[in-house]
Amino acid sequence: MSNDDRVQTLQNKHAEIDAELQTLVRVPVYNNISELKKAKLAIKDEIRRLQEEMQVLAT
């Protein structure tokens, strides 16, 4: 899987988690929210890392 494909996959997963979080915030179920927020942040960090790596490789 290329870095572009990986970034796209991660961006899709990030959006899915965000949508799930938005649903959970409206429902009083708090036990999964923290885990989802952590996963979302980890994915965002990996997206940023991969994008920076691709920029370095492009130069």
pLDDT in tens, 25-38: 777 656 677 888 89
- What is the predicted pLDDT for the residue at 31? 62
The total of other beta-carbon atoms located within 10 Å of residue 17's CB is 20
- What is the predicted pLDDT for the residue at 36? 84
Contacts of 46 (CB under 8 A, 6+ apart): 10
pLDDT in tens, 10-56: 999 999 999 988 887 777 656 677 888 899 999 999 999 999 999 99
Distance, in Å, from the CA atom of 32 to the CA atom of 54, rounded to the nearest integer, reads: 33
pLDDT band at 1 (very low <50, low <70, confident <90, very high): confident
Domain ranges of the chain: 3-58
| pTM of the predicted model as reported, rounded to 2 decimal places | 0.56
